[in-house]
Structure 1
């Protein structure tokens, strides 16, 4: 019986199982990252795994259906296979019976032959004895003058009993006793001939029975082999079919289990995403609430600050106007000469040109940035309206502590003068076009440290000069003159 090589579909089955069933779940919600992108990636990965498993399950179901059809076909073949086994076993049984019957007949024939041989040997011995006795009778008759003639002599010499038996003349001459012996001799001779013929027939029968028995034995062996082969084919057919069905059912069970696990994982991820969205919503609502509160608080603080600003601005304006008036009286239209006299702090004017703006409160100039948002600012120094590129000198000796860009002040140089009159003093030179010193350099009073420019929050070429005493801006006029 030929088996279907594609019965189990083991190659396809292995591919289906290895595609996802034995892969298992490689992710766990217990380590789901808080990062939203990673959580979404996790969700996408699980959905792809579910799609792959469902596809694998479809393949397994298709293979189960296909294998089920084959199983039904094989089951349809079972009756004929079982009948073949029964027929083969019946043929074997018939052949066995035939062999047994022939062997019985052969044994009987051989027994009969043995008996015939034994009887023939006995008959021969008796015949020989009878002939001997007849010869003795003939001799006595001859000696006594009886049994004259050539026929009896012929009988004795030629052993032709038939001729002698057919001879009426010889029979009439024999004595009664002699005649009886001769008749017995004739009977045994005929019996011996018949036994020989029967023995020959029995031997022929034995030879024929042996041939039949050998042929029947061959048929029995062939029938037994056919029965064994049919039974083995049937058992193989059933085993392969059941094995294939079992493997596919196992694959289906594993695929179902994996699908359930993946869907459970998907549900966990969806729940995590839902919780994340709810948390984000709560956080957004909380931020909105805090923003509203902050806006209301800022509004209140801005109103209070505006009130303070207006009050402070008025005070600063009054103070600045007074200081500017004093500085203007002392310095208006004056120019530093090459031999500038030093003030009480020992500082000299750092640049040439007229003073264009003094120390005090100023409204934010058009075209500049209102950093404080108050509509004005404290002008914490004095401006000299010098031409761009004009030299700027150190107002006092000291060490350069800053050099370079400084936000709205543009290119700046700051010089630390250490302690002057018991106070820490620093001078700042702002809005330069370029510098002539470096940080850490020691400079002398009157040494060129840079050149007038209009960098930073500036509307024209000028030097903005500041004096910082003990960390607080002071009006430079009080230190210069």
Structure 2
């Protein structure tokens, strides 16, 4: 009874409850793991896109060298993290397996104690039964005890008979009570034995599961260790890549300087267009009529477009995913801080691009770092001079001097110029100064 109360109810319940909690937690963990994996993949994709964008302005071979080095670093870091996690999981599995082993040993030992106590009680039961029979026989036949048979052939009186009967009844009752006590004890011990056998069986199953988990964890750890060793062997290759990039910093800096010149030339062209817009406005007899005419490039409140609520619409249809926003960014090799004059939007090669508002196409030409570029003058809108620029196109769908409407096709997404892949590069200039085009004005 001691074991059933102390271990069978407490430890047994704890073990089974633990198994159920583990099963529930496993489902939750799997869902959490899937969510974490999705988040990690998105973070990796965003990081890669940001890296590619930061490398604009240098040739493809130099950009690919930087990307290869960063990929090698990320792979090693990921492998190290995976190995560290495998070590943690293996250590946890080893602890659980050791606990399961301890619990199985305790349960087995307790089962042996219960079975030993049951065997002792059964032996006492057999002994009591034998004693009861022995008392009955001796009471009836043994002359020294005044047995019933001897009483009838003797000259004992009725008083002696009464005393004998009481003594015989008392002796038999004592033996019977002792037998019932032992039999009740046996019933309880058999129940304890059944409970303990069931508990021991369940503990053994948990132990088998823990053994399998440990074996799997050992295998995963060994696999991650092998992969980590393989990646660590590429350290020399990584050092070689770093040395090559270090030697190419001069060339990279030179190309970035050329890209800066391209940007400056773009600024000067935009400033010229802006000056023309202001001059036209000043020469106009009515700025309101001028800003509302088609020739001025006014977007107008009734202009067609798939994005409402603003002067401009996005250059592509559908949801916008920025791979590199407008603003300053640090070059991963030189550490130079450079202004990214537009917003880079994820888009596949050949995806159509559209005019952000009504206007006049100023130029469609190759502009060095910017590749195939479309520049549209939208004239004076709301008292400000506006110009939009679309870079890296693979093909033009308009020409200089063309009057375009908001949402009209002007070209197709590409990767011309010094970029690492197809995407939309969209710029907005207000009063001769480049601004953040997202959100749209």
**TM-score, with length taken from structure 1:** 0.37
Question: Normalising by structure 2, what TM-score?
Answer: 0.39
Larger RCO (CA within 8 A; separation ≥ 6): 2
Q: Which has the larger radius of gyration?
A: 1
